[in-house]
Amino acid sequence: MSLSSTTTAGLTDGAGQGGSVGGDLALLDRLIGEQEQVMLARTARSQALRAEARGVLAGGVASSWQDAPPCAVWISEGRGSKVWDADGNEYSDFHGGFGVGVAGHAHPAIVAAVSERVTKGTHFAQPVEDTIVVARELARRFGLPLWRYNNSGTEATMDAFHLMRVATGRPKVIKVEGSYHGHHDSAQVSVYPERAEVGSTSAPNSVPANPSIPGPFAELTVIVPFGDLGAVEHALAIHSGQIAGMIVEPVMMNIGLIPPPSGYLAALKELLHSHGAYLAFDEVKTGFGLAPGGATELFGVTPDLVCVAKAMAGGLPCGAIGGVPELMNLIADRTYEQVGTFNGNPLTMAAARATLTEVYTDEAYRHLDALRARQVAGCRRVMAQYELPGYVQAFGAKGAVIFTDHLSNYRDFLDYADQWGNAHWLYQQNGGVALPPWGKCEQWTMSVQHTSDDVDRFVTNLETMAQALRGSGA
């Protein structure tokens, strides 16, 4: 895996130029309206299923983020790099199930492992041998010796908050403004706060993400801007002796894709340690897609705790937390009861074993590198030719077209018009490329089964959108 980022910052001269391209939000609104009609015409069966589901599923979907205007797309099948929706439309899948899909769909090695396991029983709540194989592989990749399983990214980061508190006896944890670490109470603070709520830049307010989070809970999560060491230092001083640690996505992904400033991660570790506090990396998204050992390997900084989930088990629900003995021994000696009925479930462990030992090979990472280079080059060409604002940011299997000139933290994100991501999502979707909805928040995920044809389809759709913005027609 190449360690280089493929940033094209600098392709920003087109902002506000090229006729309507730079900042004509009214034109974008019109194109969004047109593309929504195209999407509705392609998805009659999805809409019928959604209507039926409303009678039995709250809101008509299984998870609120599966729904985006103009309609939730119901999927029937996935194979290789492709998915098919309930209406039979084919998509090159860059959605990846919100970043899970680095192995692609129905990978033969994972199908074989899961098929074999399913005939031998799928749940005992007693340990099985694969739990050792998978933990060894995680330890090798992330350079942390001791691991425990859970079932989601939410559980993994919840364990991180808990462990840092237990180890220090301190109540507060630092979190980055605009980061998402799952839906447990401590993490549901300043996820997407409104502009009126955010407070000062250097010491942002702790804003509950929704009314289920009581104010006093939210106050235990101390908020800092991404990439700002001074703000962390300030927080450690203001909350002296109360900070257990900090959780951070080493490459921030809830608001597009933002790499850490040079030296930031190493300096964070040093700073936190100098105050007797710990550093946890949330690698739920960055985990296996950026490099074999995630951002931990890519940036050469090993934190005290690493949380992984999503791409770990080839599409089955799984999470894990790894850490230094000082923290993980608090689990071993049962000071902290890290438990869960489905932890280390045999079926997910079989899938994780196959994914980590047979699918995420060195060759697979070389393939992802080549695909990323092609996709970034294609997007750069379109952005330059049509003078689109913004740049492309990509690492490993992940990347994003960012239609604004400057995005380094949540305050920048607040200034980034939603229309760009929404329009891009619709053009990709209608052109046969699935991307996660909420375009400006999310990233593409490529799988080891993607090909250059999938990449070219993505680039063609971006060009179709660029042409429509130029007025030359889609």
Ligand X SMILES: Cc1ncc(COP(=O)(O)O)c(C=O)c1O
Structure tokens at 30: 């019109």
152 binds ligand X per the rule CB under 6 A:
yes
463 binds ligand X per the rule CB under 6 A:
no
Among 89, 154, 296, 345, contact with ligand X (rule: CB under 6 A): 154
Using the contact rule CB under 6 A, the part of the chain among 110-118, 153-161, 293-301, 412-420 near ligand X is 153-161
| Rounded Cα distance, 434 and 444, in Å | 9
Catalytic site includes residue 310? yes
Catalytic residue among 91, 149, 180, 360: 180
249 binds ligand X per the rule CB under 6 A:
yes
Catalytic site includes residue 159? no
| Contact by Cβ (8 Å): 320, 142 | no
Using the contact rule CB under 6 A, the part of the chain among 151-159, 218-226, 336-344, 457-465 near ligand X is 151-159
The answer to whether the Cα torsion of 44, 45, 46, 50 is positive or negative is: positive
Residue placing its CB nearer to ligand X in the complex, 249 or 412: 249
Catalytic residue among 282, 304, 412, 454: 282
284 binds ligand X per the rule CB under 6 A:
yes
Over its C-alpha atoms, the chain yields an Rg (Å, rounded) of 22
Run of H or E residues at 285: none
Strands (E), 135-268: 146-150, 172-176, 221-224, 243-248
Catalytic site includes residue 278? no
By rule CB under 6 A, what count of residues binds ligand X?
Answer: 13
Task: Report H helices in 275-404.
Answer: 294-299, 325-332, 346-354, 362-385
Using the contact rule CB under 6 A, the part of the chain among 68-76, 179-187, 272-280, 397-405 near ligand X is 179-187
What are the φ and ψ backbone dihedral angles of 281, each rounded to 5 degrees?
A: -95, 125
Among 74, 94, 180, 444, contact with ligand X (rule: CB under 6 A): 180
Among 18, 78, 182, 245, contact with ligand X (rule: CB under 6 A): 182
| Rounded Cα distance, 304 and 55, in Å | 46
142 binds ligand X per the rule CB under 6 A:
no
Q: Residue type at 398?
A: K
Among 50, 141, 285, 440, contact with ligand X (rule: CB under 6 A): 285
Q: Starting at the edge strand that comes first in sequence, how are the strands of the sheet with 82-85 ordered?
A: 75-79, 82-85, 90-93, 433-434
Using alpha carbons, list the distances in angstroms from residue 439 to 105, 372, 420, 421, 471.
23, 19, 8, 4, 22
Cβ at position 99, least distance to ligand X in Å: 7
Which residues carry out catalysis?
180, 282, 310
For binding to ligand X (CB under 6 A), which residues are involved?
A: 98, 152-154, 157, 180-182, 249, 282, 284-285, 309
